Structure 1
Amino acid sequence: MEAFKGQNILSFIKELPDDEACKAYLAKIKWQDGFKCMKCGHTKGCEKSGYRYHCYGCNHVESATANTLFHKVKFGLQKAFCVVFEMSTSSKSVSSIQMGKRFNIRQGTAWFFMQKVRKAMKSSQQYPLSELVHVDEFTVGGKEEGKQGRSYDSKKKKAVIAVELSAKHQIKRVYVRAIDDYSAKSLTPIFEEHISTTAKIVTDKWRGYSPLKKEYNIEQKFSNNGKNYIL
C-alpha cells in the first residue's frame, strides 16, 4: 500500500475502513526499509500475528503502533487516523470540541491527542520552501487608526509569514514566525529555517529584505497601498 494522497475523506475511509487496516498500513510504513528493534537496535527478527515484530536479539516484541502517535490510543486507530487527516487537510482550525463531537471522542481526549499531532507536525526544517514563495510582515490585530506604515511602538504582536505557492498560485505550505521588529536581523530566521536559497521569493519594497538578497533570489515589488499583495 502506498502513502495515501489527497483530501477526499470518502476515499480515505475506503482505503482505511477499520482499525486492522490502519494497523496494517502503519506496519508497512514503519518496516518498509526493514526491521530495527527500538530496544536494542538488532535488525533480525520475524513478523508475528497482529502486526508485531519479534526481535531475535533481545526477544522484545514490538507493535506497529509502538513509538508512533498512535501508540496506546484508546478510542480506536481509525478514529485517530481520521483526526490526523482532518488536521492535516483542513485549511481552518478544528477545535477539540468539534473533533470530539465529529468522532464521538471525549473533548479532553481529543485535545490531548491533537496536541500530540501538532507537536509531530512541527517543521523538521529538512524540507524548506523551494518554489514560488511570498514573504510579508504584519501585526496581529490589524492596522491601527491614525498610523501609516509600520508601527514600531505598537504593543501589538509583529510577525512575518512565508507562503509557498504552486504554479497555479494555490497555497502549498505556510510558515509564520513572531518577530521583535522589522529589521533584517529579525526577518532572517524564517529564511534560514524554512526557505531554500533556490526558491523564487517575492516581497514588498521594505528595506529590511535588502541584505538577504546576497543569499536569496528576492524580487521586491510595491505593495498595493498597504494591502496584501500575495494572492
Structure 2
Amino acid sequence: MCKDTINVFELLEKFPTEKAVRMWFENQPWNGTPICPHCGFDNTHRMTRDNGEYIRCRDCDKRFTVRVGTIMHRSHIGFCKWLFTMYIIVTARKGISSLQLSKELGNRQASAWFLMHRIQAACEDGDQLLQNVVEIDETYCWTKPLRREGAAPSDKTQPGQAGTKKVRFFEKRLYLYDYKSVFPLF
C-alpha cells in the first residue's frame, strides 16, 4: 500500500519549532543560499536580531525574509500556522470552512479566510484547459414566479398554489489542490 500523505504526528515530528518550519520554507526556493528579491544577488548575511529571520543584502543594503514575494508576504501569521493550514487544506477530503479552520488554528475567522484564499490562489494553474473527462451533474431548481406589486396573478399560478418553474443548469467541478504541487516534501 502506497502512502500518499503524512499524518499530523509525523508533521509535528518533522517540524517541532517555528525555526524548523522557517528553515524548511527558506530551503525550498533558495537551497540554502538566500537570494535577495530586490536585486537578485546572493551576497547576503543573516541578521542576529529577530531570531535570525531577517536577512540583509550586502549589495543593495535591504532587509528581507523568506516571506517576501510569496503568499506569506506582509503577513504576521507564524510559519507553523501557514504550514498547518496548507496541510489541512490539502488533506481535507471535503474541504474545510474558514470558521472551522479558525477554531483549529486559534485565530480569528477573517485570518483563516485570508490564509485559505492565499493558499488556494497559489494552487491555481491559471488558464489551463481541461484535458480529461469533466464530471457534470444536472439538477432542477424551482422558483416562485415574480409578480409586481398590485399586478393580477398570472394564469400559470392559481391563488393558494405555489407555482414552480424548472430551470436546468450545469455545475462544473474543479479540483484546485494537488498536494504534490503544494508540498514537494510529501
Q: Considering the TM-score relative to the shorter chain, is it more than 0.5?
A: yes
Q: Indicate how the Cα distance of structure 1 residues 27 and 137 shifts in structure 2: closer, same or farther if over 3 A, else same.
A: closer
Equivalent position of 2:144 in the other structure: none
- Structure 2 counterpart of 1:156, one-letter code: F
Q: Give 1:44 shift.
A: 2.2
Equivalent position of 1:138 in the other structure: 136
Matched-pair contact (CA < 8 Å) for 1:40–1:58: yes
Matched, 1:35 2:34: yes
Q: Indicate how the Cα distance of structure 1 residues 52 and 74 shifts in structure 2: closer, same or farther if over 3 A, else same.
A: closer
Q: Give 1:62 shift.
A: 1.6
Report the secondary structure of 1:40's partner residue. Answer: coil
TM-score by length of 2: 0.64
| Aligned pairs for 1:184-195 within 5 A | none
Q: 1:118 aligns with which of 96, 117, 120?
A: 120
Equivalent position of 1:66 in the other structure: 68
TM-score by length of 1: 0.53
RCO comparison, higher one (Cα < 8 Å, 6+): 2
Q: Which protein has the larger Cα radius of gyration, Structure 1 or Structure 2? A: 2
Equivalent position of 1:19 in the other structure: 18
Equivalent position of 1:218 in the other structure: none
Matched-pair contact (CA < 8 Å) for 1:35–1:43: yes
Q: Give 1:92 shift.
A: 1.2
Equivalent position of 1:217 in the other structure: none
Q: Mind listing any 5+ residue stretches in structure 2 that lack a counterpart? A: 142-165, 179-186
Matched, 1:103 2:105: yes
Matched-pair contact (CA < 8 Å) for 2:43–2:58: yes
Superimposed CA distance per residue, residues 61-107 of structure 1 (whole angstroms, 9 cap, x where no aligned partner): 22122222233433422122111110012221100100011111101
Q: Indicate how the Cα distance of structure 1 residues 28 and 48 shifts in structure 2: closer, same or farther if over 3 A, else same.
A: farther
- Structure 1 counterpart of 2:17, one-letter code: D
Matched, 1:157 2:170: yes
Q: Mind listing any 5+ residue stretches in structure 1 that lack a counterpart? A: 146-152, 163-171, 174-231
Q: Indicate how the Cα distance of structure 1 residues 125 and 47 shifts in structure 2: closer, same or farther if over 3 A, else same.
A: farther
Q: Indicate how the Cα distance of structure 1 residues 124 and 14 shifts in structure 2: closer, same or farther if over 3 A, else same.
A: farther
Larger strand share, 1 or 2 = 1
Q: Indicate how the Cα distance of structure 1 residues 14 and 68 shifts in structure 2: closer, same or farther if over 3 A, else same.
A: same
Equivalent position of 1:190 in the other structure: none
Matched-pair contact (CA < 8 Å) for 1:7–1:89: no
- Structure 1 counterpart of 2:172, one-letter code: A
Superimposed CA distance per residue, residues 143-174 of structure 1 (whole angstroms, 9 cap, x where no aligned partner): 459xxxxxxx9541353769xxxxxxxxx96x
Q: Give 1:51 shift.
A: 3.7
What is the count of residue pairs matched by the alignment? 147
Report the secondary structure of 2:169's partner residue. Answer: coil
Report the secondary structure of 1:157's partner residue. Answer: strand
Distance in 1 (CA, whole Å) between partners of 2:136 and 2:171 is 6
- Structure 1 counterpart of 2:93, one-letter code: S
Equivalent position of 2:96 in the other structure: 94
Distance in 2 (CA, whole Å) between partners of 1:20 and 1:157 is 47
Distance in 2 (CA, whole Å) between partners of 1:92 and 1:160 is 13
Report the secondary structure of 2:56's partner residue. Answer: strand
